[in-house]
């Protein structure tokens, strides 16, 4: 990656793997579920012990993603940062309010989060296999796909609302070139394989 903080480069990479409308819609629903469920099942893992329950792996994940997104794009990163950190804080508070006498225990809550996490991943693989007809980005760049995916959702929502249309136009044009190249290479590989 030439420039870690070049948001357009990241978005072009991601758009190159997510151009089909059905696949994009699946990702718009599933990616937030994946990130928020990960925070949810990591929140019980305290980093500094029970004396500091709000310093945990889920909160660290939220802060890390939020800081990176803010460095990438202040206008969309700062609200994303606030949402992630607030969510981690509220989930930890919810865990602390649960006890063995409540109908849902903290262990149950973790199980539900893991189930939602797995289901969302499976739905995304379905979207890529059936609708996009292209392997997910994580097979080519795991870190970029895992870290950038939630911010891609934020940008998709911003584009839908009419914000950053200049960036959307540029991103789509560059991604179209990548997609055409991929399709050409795939067709050539199929033709070579059939001979």
Looking at every residue in the chain, the average pLDDT score rounds to: 91
Question: Is position 106 within any domain?
Answer: yes
Question: Is position 11 within any domain?
Answer: yes
What is the DSSP secondary-structure string of the chain?
Answer: ---TT-HHHHHHHHHTT--SHHHHHHHHHHHHHHHHHHHHHHTTSBSS-TTSTTSBHHHHHHHHHHHHHHHH-HHHHHHHHHHHHHHHHHHHHHHHH--TTSSS-HHHHHHHHHHHHHHHHHHHHHIIIIII-S--GGGT-HHHHHHHHHHHHHHHHHHHTTTTHHHHHHHHHHHHHHHHHHHHHHHHHHHHHH-
Question: Is position 123 within any domain?
Answer: yes
- 13 has a pLDDT exceeding 70: yes
Question: Is position 194 within any domain?
Answer: no
Question: Is position 191 within any domain?
Answer: no
Mean pLDDT in residue range 41-70 = 92
> Model's pTM, two decimal places?
0.89
Choose the weakest-confidence range: 35-49, 90-104, 155-169. 90-104
pLDDT band at 187 (very low <50, low <70, confident <90, very high): confident
> Domain span at residue 53?
7-184
How many structural domains comprise the chain?
1
Task: Tell me what pLDDT residue 100 has.
Answer: 61
Task: Tell me what pLDDT residue 2 has.
Answer: 52
């Amino acid at each position: 990656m030439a420039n870690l903080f070049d948001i357009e480069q990241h978005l072009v990479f991601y758009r190159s793997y997510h151009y089909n409308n059905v696949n994009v819609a699946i990702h718009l629903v599933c990616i937030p579920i994946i990130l928020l469920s990960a925070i949810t099942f990591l929140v019980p893992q305290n980093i500094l012990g029970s004396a500091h329950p709000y310093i945990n792996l889920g909160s660290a994940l939220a802060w890390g993603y939020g800081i990176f997104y803010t460095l990438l794009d202040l206008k969309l990163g700062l609200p994303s940062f606030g949402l992630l950190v607030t969510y981690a804080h509220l989930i930890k508070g919810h865990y602390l309010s649960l006890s063995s006498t409540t109908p849902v225990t903290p262990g149950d809550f973790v199980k539900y989060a893991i189930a939602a996490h797995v289901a969302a991943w499976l739905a995304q693989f379905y979207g890529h296999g059936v609708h996009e007809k292209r392997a997910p980005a994580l097979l080519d760049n795991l870190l970029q796909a895992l870290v950038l995916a939630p911010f891609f959702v934020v940008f998709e929502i911003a584009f839908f609302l009419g914000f950053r249309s200049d960036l959307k136009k540029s991103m789509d044009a560059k991604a179209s070139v990548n997609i055409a190249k991929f399709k050409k290479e795939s067709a050539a590989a199929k033709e070579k394989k059939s001979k």
